[in-house]
């Protein structure tokens, strides 16, 4: 039952996010926030596919234990693409709210992303092992959490200051995604059921993508 339900959910998620991203890229002029948002959505879906597709295959065949290395590699790729996702979301924020200053902020965002990706690539993570150390799971997620917190604050402040109703809840989607993700990092190996929190985490990302897509549709309709 788990294999069927999770397979349907994962495939529906990947198709939804990637197709919306492609549609946003095709429907948006170059160098606009929505073109960037579309690229962001495609990277999100394609990156997650490296982990979710092997997981679906494993659940429907011989089990997760037989795909440890492939699933670990997928987690590594997803960790990197998720970091890129947030960097692009930062640039969406800059374009949407016409931010032309903040060099220090940009350097901080890029620096945190670089540190996160560098930590993800360190061999001590033992991605391909079934006994990957929890300590490195914490290390690589510290700069990621700080990066997410900064973007939460930026969207929370900007949407209220400019009364941006379309992106009003973007900050909450990010907060929820981290709120569901952190317990998985910390306790999923000890309490496997906590891994189920990845489902609402994924839903939070779908919500974020839908916010961007709906905002694009509304702006395009208003121009007609």
Are 88 and 151 in contact by the 8 Å Cβ rule? The answer is: no
- Residue 8: the pLDDT is 92
pLDDT band at 163 (very low <50, low <70, confident <90, very high): very high
DSSP state of 132: -
- Residue 175: the pLDDT is 97
Whole-angstrom distance, CA of residue 22 vs CA of residue 44: 12
Q: Can you tell me the mean pLDDT for 111-129?
A: 96
Q: What percent of the chain has pLDDT over 90?
A: 77
- Residue 60: the pLDDT is 87
Q: Can you tell me the mean pLDDT for 98-114?
A: 94
Q: What is the pTM of this model?
A: 0.94
Query: Residues near 51 by Cβ (< 8 Å), separated by ≥ 6?
Result: 71, 74, 75, 77, 78
The answer, yes or no, to whether residue 43 has pLDDT greater than 90, is yes
Q: What is the pLDDT of residues 173-199, one digit of tens each?
A: 999 999 999 999 888 878 878 988 999
- Residue 151: the pLDDT is 97
């Amino acid at each position: 039952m788990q294999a069927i339900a999770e397979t349907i959910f994962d495939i529906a998620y990947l198709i939804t996010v990637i197709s919306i991203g492609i549609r946003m890229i095709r429907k948006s002029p170059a160098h606009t926030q929505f073109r960037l948002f579309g690229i962001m959505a495609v990277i999100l879906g394609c990156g997650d596919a490296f982990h979710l597709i092997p997981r679906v295959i494993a659940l429907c065949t011989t089990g997760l234990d037989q795909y440890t290395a492939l699933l670990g590699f997928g987690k590594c790729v997803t960790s990197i693409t998720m970091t890129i996702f947030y960097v692009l979301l930062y640039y969406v924020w800059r374009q949407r709210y016409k931010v032309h200053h903040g060099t220090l902020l940009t350097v901080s965002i890029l620096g945190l992303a670089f540190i996160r990706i560098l930590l993800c690539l360190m061999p001590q993570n033992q991605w391909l092992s079934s006994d990957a150390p929890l300590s490195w799971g914490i290390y690589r997620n510290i700069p990621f959490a700080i990066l997410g917190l900064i973007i939460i604050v930026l969207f929370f402040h900007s949407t209220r200051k400019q009364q941006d109703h379309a992106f009003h809840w973007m900050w909450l989607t990010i907060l929820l995604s981290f709120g569901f993700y952190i317990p998985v990092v910390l306790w999923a190996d000890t309490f496997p059921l906590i891994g189920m929190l990845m489902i609402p985490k994924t839903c939070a990302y779908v919500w974020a993508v839908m916010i961007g897509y709906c905002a694009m549709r509304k702006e395009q309709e208003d121009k007609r």
